Amino acid sequence: MKVLVTGAAGFIGYHVARRLAESKRCEVLGIDNLNDYYSVELKRARLAELEPLENFRFMKADFGDATAFHGIFSHFRPDYVVHLGAQAGVRHSMENPAAYVHSNLVGFLNVLEACRQYPPKHLVFASSSSVYGAGAKVPFHEDDNTDQPISFYGATKKSNELMAHSYAHLYGVMTTGLRFFTVYGPWSRPDMAPTLFAKAICAGEPIRLFNHGKCRRDFTYVDDIVDGVVKVLLYPPTEPPTPPYRIFNLGHNRPVEVLLFVRMLEQMLGRPAQVELLPAQPGDMLETGASIERLHAAIGFTPRVALEDGLRHFVDWFKRYHGHA
């Protein structure tokens, strides 16, 4: 089967593309515009890991460019689409909202339009726990009110869910959105907490923890995320529901204080962390935690990787890639 993966040079996109290509059952086409929001060198290093795989091909392209993306889509005619490409980062969305409009709104519209014109068996797209926003109570349930995201990034992901619902209703596009919860693991982005913290610990630099380190996050290891994405992909919505549209949380369901996360990292790196405890920042959620009962009922999903094991895998990769003994 032919699978299109957007954001294939990204953190989660790389891992999903690899799993699908290694399955031997998929012809995977990955696209990515390789923008410079963070290290292009890291993105190219991920692609270098994928290039030897017989069932993987890559095209540099921006799905925000409707003409270019529709040309690729109409030529490849994917059976399945995994849309993981997006402008990421909660804090960056406060500084450069236009980038989020281009990728997360205009780009997602282009993906939906391509799926309308050349319908795949299933479109799976990345949403985020950031949609829950103000007033959310842990654990977050898919039916909770998500009308008050507290970051512009979260607002664009909420918009994606609404756009996808309308295309499922109007055109029958078989669609599932996955709300990811604090993904970590090897090849993670340099602007994500694990890499930021590990670099600071190794360099002897201070780590600034907002809300005095008491924010709690549902850290989810990337292999568990990939398991969920791939399993969901193979099981499109059935009738009912009408329209053929679903939303699932995809997390670990065991929130951990960020300060404890740092303490675990410093122990594994064998170096002390210099921690600065600061007040909460605007746009930050104090706690995230996923209710995953609905996903378990649908596909039997259960996270397998404990935080201790996942962090060891991350630290092993971090030392190799960044040259820390």
Residues near 293 by beta carbon (within 8 Å), at least 6 away in sequence: none
Query: Cα–Cα distance between 211 and 99 in angstroms, integer?
Result: 28
Eight-class DSSP state of 287: B
Q: Which two tokens stand for residue 279?
A: 């007040």
Eight-class DSSP state of 186: T
b/e per residue 214-224 (b: at least 16 CB within 10 A): ebbbbbbbbbb
Do the beta carbons of residue 8 and residue 32 sit within 8 Å?
Answer: yes
Backbone angles phi, psi at 65, to 5 degrees: -95, 105
- ∠ Cα 223 227 229 (to 5°): 115
Radius of gyration of the chain (CA): 19
Query: Cα–Cα distance between 112 and 163 in angstroms, integer?
Result: 8
Do the beta carbons of residue 44 and residue 9 sit within 8 Å?
Answer: yes
Q: Which two tokens stand for residue 318?
A: 């971090």
Annotated catalytic, 221? no
Q: Which of 14, 80, 100, 153 is catalytic?
A: 153
Report the Cα 304 to chain-centroid distance in Å.
18
Length of the chain: 325
Active site residues: 153
